[in-house]
Structures are given as C-alpha cells and as structure tokens.
Structure 1
Amino acid sequence: MIRKVITLLIAGFVALGAAACDTQGTSSGGSGGSGGSDKASASGQSDAASGQSGIQGKVKGSKTVATVNGEDIKGIDYNGMLQQLQTQAQQQSQQQGQQAAPMKGAALKQVKKQAIKALVSNQLILQDADKRGIEPSKDKVQKQIDATKKQYKTKKKLDAALKSSNMTMKQFRSRTTDQVQVQAYEKKVIGPIHVSDAQVKKYYQQYAAQAKAQQAQQAQQGQQAQSSQVPPLKKVKPQIKQQLQQQKQQQELSKIVKKLKAKANVKVFV
C-alpha cells in the first residue's frame, strides 16, 4: 500500500496517539513536549515514552536546546523528535531488508540537525499564527482530544498512557491546542491545495514502476519478493491525492518558514 506522508517540517504531535499505537498495535505519528513555553511543546515526547532510553544523542529533558525569538525549546521536545526520526530510519532499513542498527556518526549528526530544524520550524509557525491572530478552535481541540481518548477503552488505560509519556492531561491539552492552531494557520495562510487527476495518475505510474523494479531486484538477489500486488488506481486514488496535497502543503510551509527564519533570532545549543 502507498505509505502516508510523514511530516517532518510540522510534525504535529506524537503524545497519546503514539502511545496508543504501542498498546493497540496500530500506527500513528506526530510529536509532543513539555517544559518551557507551551509553544515549544508542539513537538516531542518525554524521556520515558516510547523507549526513549535507547535514543542515540539524547540530552537532559530540562536542557534548553534552542531558542526562537526568546522562547525556549527544551531537551524533552528534542529527545521526542530524535526518537521519531530514528524510529522512522530503522523502519525504512527493515523495509529495505537491512538490519536496523543504532544510529551513529554522520547519520546521527544529520538526524540531530533534522530534529532541531523541525522544532524551530514548528515554533516559528506557531509564533506567526499568534501574530496573525489565528486562534485554535476550542471545539476542534476538544473533538481531537475526545478522538484520542476513544483509542482507550478505560480511564485506567488512558492514565497509563499519560504516565508513560510523563504527561498530564493539562499538557496533553496544550499540545493538542498547538496542533489545531497549526492546522488553522495552514488553512488560512496557505489555503486549499489543488491536485489534478493527471498528477495523481503520474504518481501512481511511478509508484507501480518502483514496486515492480523492487520485486525484480529482490528476485535477482535470491530474496523472496513480496507477493502483494499494486492495487488498481481507482482504489488508491484518494490516498494518492491526499499524499500529494500534503507534499504541496509542506512545500508552501517550507517557503513560509524560510522567510520567518530570515527575520527571526534563532540560537541552537546542541
């Protein structure tokens, strides 16, 4: 199946969504955080969440890893982003038939750079949203919180997920509020993203050709090729369209962040 786009620029939030994945065997993505400014908490998890004790390059949770126009980004957020990026890298290695190994050297250096870039970008967007008077809808915040709660059958499981993420419900609400604010910002500043049928078809053809080439390569190497067939375009068209919309949205956000960063006072300490 065609994979969902994993946003690294504006990472949303992992928080309870990721915890639910671990306990229920599903998949999710995003970020969280605590400590320092609430706006700095839009990405990352606690050191206790998702096995962060095994993260390469992590720092003390209370450490200020960067400041954006005077607002701190804490180590707890940084560690959460590192965990997310390293997990993605390991999953990609496994999908390619390679053995996932602890990250080090140039690869680790690059991931650290990506983590800081994502967190700083997130902070710049939230600050610009405040300046523009773009406020998160309280109804949408509550709706999203309720949707996350539904992933747990009992309050006990929800409390356990919060505890494993070293997070209070107040902090979770703050992170969700930030995420909804980013969504409102994207809607107002970027607006609707148009994807044509021709673009969808081109992407599908590229994906199908890539899948076929990968199976042929696996056969040449004596590996057992995956038997899954490429689904018909009609079936995956909505997924492809959504993915292309997300990609275009990220391109527009990248342009905005570049302009904001040029005028911002950003200091990095890791």
Structure 2
Amino acid sequence: MSSKKWLLALAVAGSISAVTACSAPAGEAGNSASTQQEAPAPSGGASEGANPEAQEMPKPDTEGVPDVVAEVNGEKIAKKDFVAAYEGQFQQMAMQSQMSGQKLDQDQLKKQTADGMISSVLLIQEADNRGLEASKKEVDATLDELVKSSQLKSKDEFLAAMKDQGMDEKTVMSEIEKQVRVEALVAEESGDTKPTEEELKKAYDQAKAQQEQMKQQGGEGGQSAEIPPFEEAKPALEEQLKGQKQGEAAQALVKDLRADADVKIHL
C-alpha cells in the first residue's frame, strides 16, 4: 500500500508537525469540523473513468529546492529532510486531488510543508529549553505505535523499511525521542483535556448531523458506517476531542514561539 511510504516519510521528517497540523484524528465516531483540512469528499463516489485527467498522477517537483530550505533560530532545515517530508505529504495530497478533481498546487504545498517543519523545530527547541526528557519506556511505546500504524509486522521490519529510506536505527530512535518530548510539551501546555459530558454530546450530535447530510447528498454513495449509540461512541469521541484540544494548544504555542523566533525561509 502506497500509504506505507507516506507514513514512513512522516516519521522521518514531519511526524512532529502532525501534532500541530490537524487538531483531531478522524475517529469513526464522526469527523468534526476540526477535520475540514482533509480532502474534500469525492462527489458521489465518481468512478475512475469519469475524469480522464484525474487518472494521471502528478509527480513531486523538487527542482529548485535550495540546500538550506529554512533557518529557525540559527538551526538549518536541510533540503534532504525537506524533500523527504514534502514527498510524503505530496503522495497523500495527490491522491486526494485525484479523488476531488482539484489541481494540486505544489507551491502552496511546499510552503505548508516548510511551515510544518519550522513548527516542529520550534517545538523541539522549546522542549529543550524546558528540559523535557523522554524515557526509554515512552520511546519504545511510540515505536510500537509507529510499527502498528505503518502496517508492518515487526519493529525489525519497520527499521529495515526506514533504512531503505536512508535512516539508520540511531536516527529513527532520535526522531522518536524528539516526538515524545514534543508530546510532553504539548501535554504541559494543554493541561486537562478531558472533555465534559456536554462537549461529548455536542460532538456526537454534530457527527450525526454530518452523517445525515452525507446520506442526503450522496444517496447510496454514503459509504460511512452507521454511527453507534452515544455510549458506544463515547471513547472515540473523547479521544477526538482530546486531540482537538491538544492541537489547539500546540498551534497557540507555535504562534507565540514563531512571533519571537528568528525564522528565514529560502524557498
């Protein structure tokens, strides 16, 4: 599955920016308004033959990317790391643009990728400033999650796949350790993210309304599974709202850090 490579590329150079990029994971309990940045829904499940242009997959254009893409408080973001992150993002967005029929704006995507990487560097620098550390147990647990999400069978298979992409085990573990420290930083910033019963009910009602709307628009094309009763949906909704609150706290922190940072972008 091509998404494997994207997941691995994300782990390489953009995984931390996922903390700031999207507030909430798309849980099966329903996609809240916070997931609007995701691809527009394909119109009525259009078949592949409907748009001849959509069949041709565009290729990532990395010509002209400078050796140093950006500098963040003197720390350089190298072309190699940027290209790895950009190609991962590009693969996902190209698939989405094929489904929606909208042309992919590579210049805009490059800017978004650079911004995401700058956010990551700012968060790592702030975690350093606060002396936040990652325990071996936390690093191992995050590695297990990455193995699971990449749909690979074992840690060894995951590390071998990463090596194929130019990352040895030491670098992979260093990236994961950074991710754990950033997650600790975001948790510190966001405080208690446990949603109230009222917030859970509101999110559930939104998800139900959204599903009804999709059914009306798509007729039989409404492929999403029926939303379970509220009590069953609660755990997924809780995770979604927690993620949303953490994402908002991370975005606010990045905004503050960037306002005081010396950032130069060379794209």
Same-fold status (TM-score > 0.5): yes
Counting aligned pairs with the same residue, the percent is 30
What 5-or-longer segments of structure 2 have no aligned partner?
19-56
Number of aligned positions between the proteins: 226
Task: Using the TM superposition, give the Cα deviation of residue 123 of structure 1 relative to its aligned residue in structure 2, in angstroms.
Answer: 0.7
Which residue pairs with 1:197 in the alignment? Answer: 197
Alignment of 1:215-254 (within 5 A): 215-219=215-219, 224-226=221-223, 228-254=225-251
Q: Aligned letter for 1:123?
A: V
* Residues 186-227 of structure 1: per-residue CA shift (max 9 Å, x gap): 2223322131111111112112111211221123xxx64437
Answering whether residue 174 of structure 2 is matched by residue 174 of structure 1, we say yes
In 1, Cα distance between equivalents of 2:9 and 2:216: 34
Letter of the 1:202 counterpart: K
Match of 2:124 among 123, 126, 141: 126
Distance 1:41 1:153 in 2: 20
The separation in 2 between residues aligned to 1:41 and 1:218, in whole angstroms, is 34
Aligned alpha-carbon RMSD (Å): 3.4
Distance 2:172 2:251 in 1: 26
More helix by share: 2
Distance 1:41 1:59 in 2: 24
What corresponds to 2:33 in structure 1? Answer: none
Q: 1:146 to 1:245 in 2, by over 3 A?
A: closer
TM-score with structure 1 setting the length: 0.70
Which structure exhibits the higher relative contact order, with contacts defined as CA atoms closer than 8 Å and separated by 6 or more residues?
2
8 Å contact 2:9–2:84 — kept in the other structure? no
- Which structure 1 residue ranges, 5 or more long, are not aligned? 1-17, 35-39, 45-52
Q: Which residue of 2 aligns with 1:206?
A: 206
**Is the alpha carbon distance of 1:78 and 1:184 closer, same or farther for their aligned partners in structure 2, counting shifts above 3 Å?**
same
Answer with 113-122 or 145-154: which moved more. Answer: 145-154
* Pairwise CA distance, 1:43: 6.2
Contact 2:204 2:237 in 1 (8 A): yes
**Any conservation in 1 of the 2:15–2:179 contact (CA below 8 Å)?**
no
Q: Quick one: distance in 2 between partners of 1:188 and 1:225?
A: 40
The Cα of 1:68 is off from its aligned counterpart by: 0.3
Q: Note the alpha carbon deviations across 1:37-63, whole angstroms, 9 max, x for none.
A: xxx99569xxxxxxxx96523358982
Residues 117-141 of structure 1 deviation map (CA, whole Å, 9 limit, x = unaligned): 1111111111011111112223311
1:32 is matched with: 11
Task: Report the Cα offset of residue 143 of structure 1.
Answer: 3.5
